[in-house]
Amino acid sequence: MTDQTEVVHSLDNDELIELYRAAGFGGRVGWGRKAAVLVIDMAGTWTEPEAMIGSDLRGVTAEIKRVLDAARAAEAPVIFTTMAYDPSFSDVTKVSRLKTPHAEKMIRGQASAQVIPELERRPDEALIEKPRASAFRNTNLVSVLVDQGVDTVVIVGCSTSGCIRSTAESAVDLGFHALVPREAVGDRSASAHVANLFDIDQRYADVVGVDDVIAHFAERD
């Protein structure tokens, strides 16, 4: 058994990757028949560094735009998410507000809950308001995907340690192929980002490069 005090969770840690492979983790799910892009929580609440849970995601935004350009050229579905609650907070539990007080900053209708304009969301690209970290939890996302014949989701956005990880876990639980382009997801904590990318890759989704995703969509353009 590896000395747990020496473990560094990183996609570059070949020794740890081999340890997980030997334990039966880290298989590849690959691409299915039809892919959609899920753009997770790229709204002002998360992308404005001065916001309570905001961080500098300019580099991530640029990589997401590259993915979106390729997906749109291939006429692949694109779906956005955000989180927002009624000003009365009647639709969010007290426990959630106690554990994550930032929920009280996510008010329905405010500009901070809107998708950032840089991503140029189109009228036919669904916007799903999710109450929890996973884009699948208590939303109609599955219905939207099934209706369009989608069996593969490319998950981009933020945050790697929260909503990205949770969405990837739900995707595999529901039988969807899931891929996470590493350059197109971000987190306010660099260490949390790296550690969770490793766990996502071993347990829930294939962590790949943005160029790999672009190449896949180009084959279907």
Instruction: Compute the half-sphere exposure of residue 189: CA atoms within 13 Å on the CB side of its CA.
Output: 8
Do residues 205 and 180 make contact, with C-beta atoms less than 8 angstroms apart? Answer: yes
Give the three-class secondary structure for 35.
strand
28-219 is classed in which CATH architecture?
A: 3-Layer(aba) Sandwich (3.40)
Question: pLDDT tens digits, residue range 32-76?
Answer: 999 999 999 999 999 999 998 899 999 999 999 999 999 999 999
What are the pLDDT digits (tens) for 4-41?
Answer: 556 788 898 999 999 999 999 999 999 999 999 999 99
Q: Give the chain's mean pLDDT.
A: 93
Model pTM score = 0.94
Helices of type H across the chain: 14-22, 44-47, 58-73, 94-99, 141-147, 165-173, 190-203, 210-219
Question: Does 158 participate in catalysis according to the annotation?
Answer: no
Q: What percent of the chain has pLDDT over 90?
A: 79
The DSSP call for residue 112 is: G
Residue with tokens 């550690």: 195
Q: What are the structural domain ranges in the chain?
A: 28-219
Residue of 163, 164, 210, 213 with catalytic role:
163
In one-letter notation, the amino acid at residue 157 is G
